[in-house]
Amino acid sequence: MLEFTDIFKQYQLGQQRVDALKGVSGRINQGEMVALCGPSGSGKSTLLNVLGLLEMDYQGKIELAGKAYPRDPMAAAQYRRTRLGFVFQRFNLIPVMSAWENVAYPLMLNGLSLAEQKRKSLEILDRVGLAEFVDHRPDNLSGGQQQRVAIARALVHQPEMVIADEPTASLDSQTAALVVEMMKSLGHEMGTTFVVATHDARMAMHCDRTIDLVDGVISTEAMQWAS
Ligand SMILES: Nc1ncnc2c1ncn2[C@@H]1O[C@H](COP(=O)(O)OP(=O)(O)O)[C@@H](O)[C@H]1O
Ligand SMILES: [Mg+2]
């Protein structure tokens, strides 16, 4: 289980202080797929960055599987590489690498042999339906295929949790629905938690549960739904 308690995050914009998160708490079960919803500027990306250890300057407590999140940058980098996976709106694939090389990248960072990198990458690419595209460069893949490569890359090292920030915002609605369903079924099969920020209520419907953010707080309406 992921448990975050009283998360506060401020940004300084010149003389002005922006309170992006104003005391956000929640629990997400292992293997659950949660949609983080809310209008633009409500704090979705900020909360994802905090939960993904991409933003370390926050107040509050986070525990994954009963253990506190690391607070120093070196430990955080190690934690991100081994226990977390990331999916972004614009796929963020490396253009000069083939699909399998993109997927293998986190395994390379984790020091696996080339043979193991390739074996695991091909296996997960097969599971996202891209067995025939493993040697393709991102340029030669559709948006939906590129996002499936990115999902394979996020899952290849079997992280406990994948953080996805607007993963379907660059896709047409039909492809988007397929991609979300794929994340959900892989998450359930592999026991991987997915936290997916979206401003699209239709995408949220495909998730197990929704957390609604409004102006940096979890909306009470959503809390009534959850209880
Ligand atoms: N790097 C930053 N510097 C200053 N303000 C920021 C920064 N990032 C986000 N904000 C502000 O924090 C609030 C929440 O933003 P964000 O988390 O990006 O919301 P969302 O992802 O829901 O659109 C907004 O008011 C935004 O302008
Ligand atoms: Mg955002």
pLDDT tens track for 147-191: 999 999 999 999 999 999 999 999 999 999 999 999 999 999 999
In total, how many domains does the chain have? 1
Q: Residue 2: inside a domain, yes or no?
A: no
Q: How many C-beta atoms surround the C-beta of residue 203 within 10 A?
A: 23
Are the C-beta atoms of residues 102 and 138 closer than 8 Å to each other? yes
146 lines ligand 1 (CB under 6 A): no
58 lines ligand 1 (CB under 6 A): no
Q: Which ligand is nearest to the CA of 47?
A: 1
- Per residue in 206-215, pLDDT (tens digit) is 999 999 999 9
> What size, in residues, is the chain?
227
Domain limits for position 90: 31-53+71-226
Q: Residue 19: inside a domain, yes or no?
A: no
- DSSP summary character for residue 147: H
Q: What residues in the chain have per-residue pLDDT under 50?
A: 226-227
Distance of CA 114 from the midpoint of ligand 1 (Å): 39
Q: Residue 8: inside a domain, yes or no?
A: no
Q: Which ligand is nearest to the CA of 46?
A: 1
Q: Residue 1: inside a domain, yes or no?
A: no
46 lines ligand 1 (CB under 6 A): yes
Q: Residue 5: inside a domain, yes or no?
A: no
